[in-house]
């Protein structure tokens, strides 16, 4: 076995290579592949003549230091680049950076006294990505902005003390937007004090005091959900052609429609009345006989109502 050093010219570069003159062109191409990343089937090797897979290298008359030429494109260009940004480890990150990482544990909401009903509703709404994007683009009306600006504390001061929801006055949408922005910068339990203050100003029923005289009374989650969604329905308007198709952002993403048919049991000869109604939530009536969700929803979709019947001249079912 005779090994000799040669040079390989490829794409403007020259490589040093030791070959065994007792081998064939196929083995040479394997060596060239490891050197240049050009697949053997894509190689064209010239050493005075074209080197084929079965060409004995001894027949080429190669001498030490002789240059052969390789033509062919590498199968993949591996480019090592220095990262544009220095890698950060968790222990080097701020609280806000940790909260914004993929898979980060979202911030919880502290119960400030019988406020679990509101916290559950806020967390549910926060899980809707489209709502988060719409709130980021929300600009309050001039009247609402003026009301917010009248606060004795600046937005930075309120944020410093972590009393989330910087919106002032009765602009509940602004308060919701600011609360979610602040929750996005922490993984700690967060007290939604400013949001709750705005909620109670706009809807005084949530400001009812507990019978014990200490703190606020417990409220119904469905009621605060209804009021919040209705507020968003009124404040988040859609632009252009979408505004003609949907009444609001809520109408596009959080609403549906029922075809409601009403019949009078007390006057079966009367024709039934059918109309379309918009809904923002689906009811589920839970009774002693209800074991599954579809059962409760089916019961809620069939209701008995008492209304004045002009034909009978009285209340009818």
Does pLDDT of 44 surpass 90? yes
Give the angle subtended at the CA of 122 by the CAs of 202 and 253, to the nearest 5°.
95
pLDDT for 89: 65
pLDDT for 141: 67
Per-range mean pLDDT, top range of 216-225, 279-288, 301-310: 216-225
Does pLDDT of 94 surpass 60? yes
pLDDT for 227: 94
In order of their start, the domains of the chain are 3-71 (3.10.20.90), 105-235 (3.90.70.10), 255-316 (no CATH)
Does pLDDT of 277 surpass 90? no
pLDDT, one tens digit per residue, over 176-214 is 999 988 888 776 788 899 999 999 999 999 999 988 878
pLDDT for 100: 62
What the block records as the tokens of 177 is 């937007």
Averaged pLDDT for residues 63-76 = 88
């Amino acid at each position: 076995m005779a090994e000799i050093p040669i040079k390989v010219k490829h794409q403007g570069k020259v490589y040093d290579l030791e070959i065994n003159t007792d081998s064939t062109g196929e083995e040479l191409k394997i060596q060239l592949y490891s050197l240049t990343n050009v697949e053997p089937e894509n190689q064209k090797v010239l050493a005075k003549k074209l080197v084929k897979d079965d060409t004995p290298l001894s027949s080429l008359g190669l001498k030490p230091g002789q240059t052969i030429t390789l033509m062919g494109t590498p199968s993949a260009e591996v480019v090592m680049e220095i990262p544009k940004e220095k890698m950060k480890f968790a222990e080097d990150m701020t609280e806000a950076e940790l909260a914004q990482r993929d898979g980060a544990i979202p911030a919880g909401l502290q119960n400030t006294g019988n406020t679990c009903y509101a916290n559950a509703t806020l967390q549910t709404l926060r899980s809707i990505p489209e709502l988060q994007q719409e709130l980021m683009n929300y600009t309050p009306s001039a009247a609402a902005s003026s009301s917010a600006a009248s606060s004795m504390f600046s937005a930075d001061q309120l944020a410093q003390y972590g009393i989330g929801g910087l919106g002032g006055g009765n602009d509940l949408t602004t308060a919701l937007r600011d609360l979610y922005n602040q929750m996005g910068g922490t993984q700690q339990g967060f007290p939604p004090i400013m949001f709750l203050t705005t909620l109670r100003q706009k809807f005084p029923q949530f400001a009812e005091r507990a019978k014990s005289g200490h703190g606020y009374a417990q409220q119904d989650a469905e009621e605060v959900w209804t009021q919040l969604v209705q507020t968003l329905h009124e404040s988040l308007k859609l632009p252009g052609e979408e505004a003609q198709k949907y009444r609001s952002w809520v109408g596009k993403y959080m609403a549906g429609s029922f075809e409601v048919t009403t019949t009078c049991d007390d006057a079966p000869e009367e024709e039934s009345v059918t109309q379309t109604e918009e809904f923002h939530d689906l009811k589920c009536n839970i009774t002693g006989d209800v074991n599954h969700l579809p059962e409760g929803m089916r019961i809620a979709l069939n209701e008995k109502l008492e209304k004045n019947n002009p034909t009978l001249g009285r209340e009818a079912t």
